[in-house]
């Protein structure tokens, strides 16, 4: 009854939003902006309709009160210009009006986070086919980013969305270019501050918690997050925000020390290990190779992709 009532309220709110839809001009198109789809710390995503084609799309609206925020939005647009791949969100158009940036994307489907929440609620797990398709798509997206010397910076289940029968990596708002090793304390503090603002702490690599002089900036933190994503596909959460118990995961506080520590072996009673041990046992080992604490010991994006493809093919992945 409550679910039905909530669905009715959501429908009415959506219709109300469309009734007062705002028409905005982008560089090459006009769109009618409707209801809110999602809200984050730096942007709001709306459902919209292209006025000419009548295509449903998503508009990411970023308010930039100062030059630093505008520079981040410009960097996101520039990254999309370099990255043209089926597993990376496609920037259709954009526009800038005063201090507001609006980026247009296809209207993608459900997030991996939603799938994991549903699985936890029903005490099930993703099928090996589903988990493998997600991981290979994300691996391909990261390999493409790193080939262009771009670090995504905020890989997590919320930023992987369904697109037809595949998946796309979204939100390049936290991306950064590969850079020279950190030269001094100022570089370290700048990277630490950037990570604190743009990188979700439960998927944040140890070298972003406490950067050290000499640390390379070549995407190893993305590989760490990819390992945490592998673990989340098995157990619902990153290993750095949860502990596995016989009855399921228990949420704990994320910290630098936890990111440095390898998670304990999962209970054999875990749902995924009972149902699909032939897939999830090797996946756990792949995850451990990817989120190893020492950045230099992690595989690069291409090698990580091959690990995931081997896993998806049912071959020896580790």
DSSP labels for 98-152? TTEEEEEEE----BHHHHHHHHHHTT----HHHHHHHHHHHHHHHHHHHHTTEE-
Q: Which residue has the tokens 């005063």?
A: 98
C-alpha closest to that of 102 among 25, 164, 178: 25
- Angle between helices 277-290 and 128-147 in degrees, nearest 10: 20
> Exposed e or buried b for every residue in 235-267, given b needs 16+ CB within 10 A?
bbbbbbbbebeeebbeeeebeeebbeeebeebe
Q: To 5 degrees, how large is the angle CA 209–CA 196–CA 180?
A: 65
- Burial of residue 270 (CB within 10 Å: 0-12, 13-18, 19+) is buried
Task: Read off the DSSP letter of residue 180.
Answer: P
The whole-model pTM stands at 0.90
Per-residue pLDDT tens digits for 119-152? 999 999 999 999 999 999 999 999 999 999 999 9
**DSSP alpha helix (H) spans, the chain:** 2-19, 67-82, 112-121, 128-147, 185-198, 206-209, 220-235, 256-260, 271-275, 277-290, 301-312
Give the whole-angstrom CA distance, residue 265 versus residue 154: 26
- Residue 22 clears pLDDT 90, i.e. is over it: no
pLDDT above 60 (res 246): no
pLDDT band at residue 5 under the 50/70/90 scheme: low
pLDDT of residue 222: 98
Query: Which has the higher per-residue pLDDT, 230 or 260?
Result: 230
How far is 76 from 64, CA to CA, in rounded Å? Answer: 13
Quick one: pLDDT band at residue 265, thresholds 50, 70, 90?
A: confident
* Percentage of the chain lying above the pLDDT 90 cut: 79
With 0-12 / 13-18 / 19 or more C-beta atoms within 10 angstroms meaning exposed / middle / buried, residue 67 is exposed
Residue 77 makes CB contacts below 8 A (sequence gap 6+) with: 91, 94, 101, 103
Alpha carbon separation from 271 to 122, 172, 252, 300 (Å, rounded): 11, 33, 20, 31
Rounded distance, CA 168 to CA 129, Å?
A: 16
How far are the Cα atoms of 111, 127, 205, 236, 285 from residue 228, in angstroms, in the given order?
Answer: 16, 18, 10, 10, 12
pLDDT band at 317 (very low <50, low <70, confident <90, very high): very low
Domains with residue ranges and CATH for the chain = 22-106 (3.30.200.20), 112-312 (1.10.510.10)
**pLDDT in the model for residue 20:** 61
Helix axes 301-312 and 128-147, enclosed angle (nearest 10): 160
- For residue 50, what are the contacts with CB-CB under 8 A and spacing of at least 6? 29, 30, 31, 57, 104
Q: Are strands 100-106 and 93-97 parallel, antiparallel or unpaired?
A: antiparallel
Half-sphere exposure of 271 (CA within 13 A, CB side): 18
| Order of strands across the sheet that contains 22-25 | 22-25, 30-39, 43-50, 56-63, 100-106, 93-97
**Which of 12-21, 193-202, 276-285 bottoms out in mean pLDDT, i.e. has the lowest?**
12-21
Q: In the prediction, which pLDDT does 318 show?
A: 43
| Tokens describing residue 2 | 């409550």
């Amino acid at each position: 009854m409550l679910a039905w009532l909530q669905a009715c309220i959501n429908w009415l709110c959506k219709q109300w939003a469309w009734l007062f839809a705002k028409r905005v001009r982008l560089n090459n198109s006009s769109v009618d902006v409707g209801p809110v789809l999602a809200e984050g710390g730096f942007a709001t995503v709306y459902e919209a309709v292209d006025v000419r084609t009548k295509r449903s799309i998503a508009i990411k609206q970023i308010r930039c009160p100062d030059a630093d925020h505008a520079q981040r939005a410009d960097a996101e647009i520039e990254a999309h210009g370099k990255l043209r791949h089926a597993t990376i969100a496609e920037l259709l158009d954009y526009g800038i009006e005063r201090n507001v940036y609006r980026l247009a994307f296809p209207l993608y489907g459900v997030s991996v986070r939603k799938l994991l929440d549903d699985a936890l609620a029903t005490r099930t797990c993703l099928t090996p086919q589903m988990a493998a398709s997600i991981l290979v798509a994300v691996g391909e997206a990261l390999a493409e980013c790193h080939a262009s010397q771009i670090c995504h910076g905020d890989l997590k289940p919320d930023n992987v969305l369904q697109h037809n029968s595949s998946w796309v990596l979204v939100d390049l708002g936290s991306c950064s270019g590969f850079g020279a090793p950190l030269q001094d304390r100022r570089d370290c503090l700048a990277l630490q501050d950037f990570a604190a603002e743009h990188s979700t702490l439960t998927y944040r690599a140890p070298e972003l918690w406490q950067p050290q002089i000499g640390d390379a900036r070549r995407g190893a933190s993305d590989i760490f997050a990819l390992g945490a994503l592998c673990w989340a596909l098995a157990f619902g959460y990153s290993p750095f925000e949860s502990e596995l118990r016989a009855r399921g995961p228990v949420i704990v506080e994320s910290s630098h020390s936890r990111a440095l520590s390898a998670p304990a072996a999962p209970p054999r009673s875990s749902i995924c290990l009972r149902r699909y041990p032939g897939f999830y046992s090797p996946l756990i080992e792949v995850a451990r190779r990817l989120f190893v604490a020492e950045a230099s010991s992690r595989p690069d994006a291409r090698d990580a992709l091959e690990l995931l493809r081997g896993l998806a093919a049912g071959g020896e992945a580790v």
